[in-house]
Amino acid sequence: MSQPTIDIEKIKNSSDGSISGMASSAFNEVILNNPYFAAGGGLMLLGTGLAVARQGIMKSSGFIYRQLLVDLEIPSKDKSYLWFLEWMSQYKNRSSRHLSVETNYIQHSNGSATTKFSLVPGPGKHLIRYKGAFMLVNRERSGKLLDMTSGTPFETVTLTTLYRDRKLFYEVLEEAKRMALKVREGKTVIYTSWGPEWRPFGQPRQKRLMGSVILDEGVDQMILNDVKDFLKSGGWYHNRGIPYRRGYLLYGPPGSGKTSFIQAIAGELDYNICLLNLSEKNMTDDRLNHLMNHIPDRSILLLEDIDAAFNKREQSDDQGYASGVTFSGLLNALDGVASAEECITFMTTNHPEKLDNALLRPGRVDFKVLINNASDYQVEKMFLKFYDNDMENCKKFLNKYKELGLKDVSTAQLQGLFVYNKRNPQGAIDMVENLKHPNNKF
Ligand SMILES: Nc1ncnc2c1ncn2[C@@H]1O[C@H](COP(=O)(O)OP(=O)(O)OP(=O)(O)O)[C@@H](O)[C@H]1O
Ligand SMILES: [Mg+2]
């Protein structure tokens, strides 16, 4: 009989207040006797309980977050950073309210350029849906840190998605990379020095085709074969402990196609070009050394007009400070390139006689080629290229060319004449005399 009464008490207690379950029986009594205390204590316990619960929720949400979600951080220093932003700007399945603009010039194959605005995701959070999975993209700018080389703030993009979808990160990055490289396909990137690092200069350019540069008979193939053979001989160099590099010097009068030919070689080998200006004012020996040891992959180093940069071994300005690169600095930099990767250096000059023997010694310059004014062979080839193999007119042109006893005509001059008489071979024949005067403007 006594059991039912206890049950009623319990029910009473529990319906009385929220603390009943938590308090001991002695405590229960005090509380029941003192309503103020009961209320205060109750609140205290409620507060503690809530705090504990809150912490528990936070901890477990952190735990769940760690278990269920994955982050991928892409810092702005990384190559894939710009690829990713570009990819995202073209990705349809996204919702973002903060956009920032990036203006690009697009060089067309005919040489003209148009401007293109890409609306890339700006700093902030963006949600994208990729292959059925949601991804949170957070682009953050670190206010304090500044990239000293470019003056832009450091940034990171963080991608967050479910743990089970983590493989999609690779797919996103791969897709972004493929998209970026597609733009460069069939193009040559020209890098120039920017502070201590190499930066692409302008947009990638259309590859220059080998057939578009006409050198004297066999010269182009001779150089190309040598470069190709060098690229195949990595093991040979390493086995013999020889630094894996080769220097080429193309010398000859202006407008004979030296620069154009180097561009064509880069195009043919699918290489990029690192252009270094030695006479640049703030180029120092240290910077030169650093740059030459950090050449991007698959690039040809091009040093133009190598004679112009210096005449003396040591250069110093009025105050005695070294300005620009010293000759010995260049020699050391050429020697010091000691990477496992191959290094192809092309140098050009109009005045080989001005060059110091120290620069010309094997190891620095291994292959010297004279790229001269147009030979008869080149005149013929140039004419046929410009006038779609018009043999008849070519013969007339050559006869007149020889009759006039023209010599020391540069290929650039010939090109000038043919461009002036586009689609008009007779016009070119009539104007052959003009080639006598190199500075003739037609
Ligand atoms: N052998 C050639 N075949 C085809 N085009 C040529 C040739 N030589 C010169 N040209 C044309 O002439 C112009 C100048 O050529 P390029 O800049 O290659 O000459 P360069 O030898 O580098 O001259 P410089 O010594 O003055 O730097 C280019 O537009 C190029 O197309
Ligand atoms: Mg040149």
3-state helix, strand, coil in the chain (%, to 5): 45, 20, 35
Task: Give the domain CATH number at 327.
Answer: 3.40.50.300
Q: Where are the beta strands (DSSP E) in 245-298?
A: 245-251, 272-276
Instruction: Answer yes or no: do 170 and 62 share one domain.
Output: no
Instruction: Answer yes or no: do 147 and 86 share one domain.
Output: yes
Q: Which amino acid is at 275?
A: L
Coil, helix or strand at residue 118: strand
Instruction: Answer yes or no: do 21 and 166 share one domain.
Output: no
Residue 195 lies in a domain: no
Spatial contact of 81 and 140, defined as CB atoms under 8 Å apart: no
Instruction: Answer yes or no: do 403 and 355 share one domain.
Output: no
DSSP letters, 9-52, are HHHHHHHH-TTTTTS-HHHHHHHHH-HHHHHHHHHHHHHHHHHH
Query: Number of helices and strands (H, E) in the chain?
Result: 15, 16
Residue 3 lies in a domain: no
Residue 1 lies in a domain: no
**Distance in Å, CA 436 to ligand 1 centroid:** 18
Residue 128 lies in a domain: yes
> Which of 47, 66, 85 finishes a domain?
66
Copy the structure tokens of residue 350: 């109009």
Residue 193 lies in a domain: no
**Distance in Å, CA 99 to ligand 1 centroid:** 44
Residue 191 lies in a domain: no
Which ligand ends up closest to the CA of 254?
A: 1
pLDDT at 96: 65
Spatial contact of 191 and 199, defined as CB atoms under 8 Å apart: yes
Number of domains in the chain: 4
**Distance in Å, CA 255 to ligand 1 centroid:** 4
Cβ < 6 Å from ligand 1: which residues? 213-215, 254-260, 350, 411-412, 415
**Distance in Å, CA 258 to ligand 2 centroid:** 5
> Which of 366, 391, 426 finishes a domain?
366
Average pLDDT per block of 10 residues along the chain, 442 residues long:
50 50 60 69 86 88 79 86 85 70 59 66 85 89 64 80 90 91 84 85 87 94 96 92 91 95 94 87 83 87 83 53 73 71 90 90 92 95 94 94 90 94 93 82 60
Spatial contact of 189 and 183, defined as CB atoms under 8 Å apart: no
**Nearest-CA residue for atom 16 of ligand 1:** 257
Instruction: Answer yes or no: do 227 and 343 share one domain.
Output: yes
Which ligand ends up closest to the CA of 412?
A: 1
Q: Where are the beta strands (DSSP E) in 361-438?
A: 367-370
**Distance in Å, CA 202 to ligand 1 centroid:** 21
The torsion angles phi and psi of 268, rounded to 5 degrees, stand at -65, -40
Q: Which amino acid is at 100?
A: S
Residue 88 lies in a domain: yes
Given ligand 1 and candidates 212, 216, 251, 259, which is best to mutate, with the most ligand atoms within 8 Å of its CB? 259
**Nearest-CA residue for atom 7 of ligand 1:** 257
Q: How far, in Å, CA of 299 to CA of 363, rounded? A: 19
Copy the structure tokens of residue 278: 């030695």
Instruction: Answer yes or no: do 53 and 76 share one domain.
Output: no
Instruction: Answer yes or no: do 179 and 248 share one domain.
Output: no
Instruction: Answer yes or no: do 317 and 265 share one domain.
Output: yes
Instruction: Answer yes or no: do 267 and 304 share one domain.
Output: yes
> Which of 185, 219, 239 finishes a domain?
185
Residue 192 lies in a domain: no
Instruction: Answer yes or no: do 31 and 78 share one domain.
Output: no
Given ligand 1 and candidates 217, 370, 372, 411, which is best to mutate, with the most ligand atoms within 8 Å of its CB? 411
**Nearest-CA residue for atom 24 of ligand 1:** 254
Instruction: Answer yes or no: do 210 and 339 share one domain.
Output: yes
Instruction: Answer yes or no: do 282 and 412 share one domain.
Output: no
Residue-range definition of the domain harbouring residue 181: 69-185
**Distance in Å, CA 343 to ligand 2 centroid:** 20
